[in-house]
Amino acid sequence: MISVGMIALWSSLTVSAVNYDEHPRTEQFINEMVKEHQYDPKVIRDVLAKAERKESILKAIARPAEKTMTWHRYRQIFLTDKRIKKGKAFLIEHKDTFDVVEKKYGVPREVIAAIIGVETFYGGNMGSYRVIDALATLGFDYPKRSLFYRELKNYFLMVRDNDLDPFALKGSYAGAMGYGQFIPSSYISYAVDYDGDGKKELWSNIDDAIASVAYYFKRYGWKNGEPLSSLVTLNDSDAAKLADKTLSLKGDFDYWKSKGVNVPKDVNNQEAALFSYQQKDKTEYWLGYKNFYVITRYNRSRLYVRAVYELSQELKD
């Protein structure tokens, strides 16, 4: 008979002994890559053999930070004097690039800078995990793995098609890379070679990184000069129940009026969604518009959007 303790020991030995080229999900992964993308199976097997399972990654992703944090607390992390000051210097330092990029893509420089500021402190913290380890660990061993399994596939495509070293690229525990923390599918679709050297270097070339963030927003339909959101009041407490239900634009001003929201008079009637923000001693409500939605395509969190927006306003002056 095997004791519980022995089972635990045995399973932990099994897990640590498995290389990703021998993982139970590997054969299917390789078969799909060959079938879907004519990928060389030997290349995948060789790379996965050197990919490492990281317990720290599985622990980090299980932490529900953004889901439970109030706006009041979240704001303290991102709207610091240091981040504002560094952002202003960042805009000055890269002014020439911002002049070109802002004009070409129609996305304000302070929004691009705020994204890079919130994501990585303007490149100061781009993540220290090998992307191959992050995506193999989450793609094969995280219970909610489907997104990461897809991104692991995209990572293999990205390194093949851009002639990148699969072991050299670093990122966050979730496999987000470079100044703007692009996941591989975003790299494939939105990374830009700004300086024309044939490489899309989002880790080491700030001009490529700035242009890539701008292009991402352009492709998701950023409407230059349009408002992002309005602070609103409610005249029916039931309206509060409609807040934070979805990031998608839910209805126009007539809809929100009928639900008890005092819609703004200085903004054109348009599609909006209702969001709540917990301040220290009160709850605020915002109607978010198209540009609000576009920022949620970068990170699906209403707290994130507001942090980017407020930081961008601070950087504007």
Q: Give catalytic residues, as residue numbers.
A: 119
**Nearest CA among 212, 200, 222 for reference residue 294:** 222
Dist. CA 78–CA 118, nearest whole Å: 6
- How many chain residues bind Ca ion (CB under 5 A)? 5
**Nearest CA among 241, 217, 219, 234 for reference residue 295:** 217
Is position 100 an interface residue for Ca ion (rule: CB under 5 A)?
no
For residues 132-151, which are near Ca ion according to CB under 5 A?
none
Residue 202 or 305 having the CB closest to Ca ion: 202
Is position 215 an interface residue for Ca ion (rule: CB under 5 A)?
no
Residue 97 or 229 having the CB closest to Ca ion: 97
Query: Are the C-beta atoms of 199 and 193 separated by less than 8 Å?
Result: yes
Residue 207 or 314 having the CB closest to Ca ion: 207
**Which of 197, 226, 236, 254 touches Ca ion (CB under 5 A)?**
197
Residue 97 or 291 having the CB closest to Ca ion: 97
For residues 102-121, which are near Ca ion according to CB under 5 A?
none
Is position 208 an interface residue for Ca ion (rule: CB under 5 A)?
yes
Q: Half-sphere exposure (CA, 13 Å, Cβ side) for 86?
A: 15
Length of the chain measured in residues? 317
Shortest Cβ distance from residue 207 to Ca ion (Å)? Answer: 7
Residue 87 or 178 having the CB closest to Ca ion: 178
DSSP SS3 for 64: coil
Q: Half-sphere exposure (CA, 13 Å, Cβ side) for 8?
A: 3
Dist. CA 255–CA 272, nearest whole Å: 9
**Nearest CA among 85, 123, 294, 314 for reference residue 207:** 123
Is position 204 an interface residue for Ca ion (rule: CB under 5 A)?
no
Residue 52 or 195 having the CB closest to Ca ion: 195
User: Which window, 116-124, 202-210, 245-253, 304-312, contacts Ca ion (CB under 5 A)?
Assistant: 202-210
The residue with its CB nearest to Ca ion is 193
Tell me the two tokens of residue 182.
């692009």
Tell me the two tokens of residue 250.
């839910």
**Which of 195, 244, 252, 284 touches Ca ion (CB under 5 A)?**
195
**Which of 25, 150, 199, 316 touches Ca ion (CB under 5 A)?**
199
Q: Cα separations (Å) of 86 from 77, 114, 125, 171?
A: 15, 10, 13, 22
- The interface mask with Ca ion, positions 40-59, x = CB under 5 A, is --------------------
- The interface mask with Ca ion, positions 241-260, x = CB under 5 A, is --------------------
Shortest Cβ distance from residue 130 to Ca ion (Å)? Answer: 22
Is position 193 an interface residue for Ca ion (rule: CB under 5 A)?
yes
Dist. CA 95–CA 113, nearest whole Å: 11
Dist. CA 206–CA 229, nearest whole Å: 29
Dist. CA 315–CA 303, nearest whole Å: 18
Q: Using CB under 5 A, list all residues that contact Ca ion.
A: 193, 195, 197, 199, 208
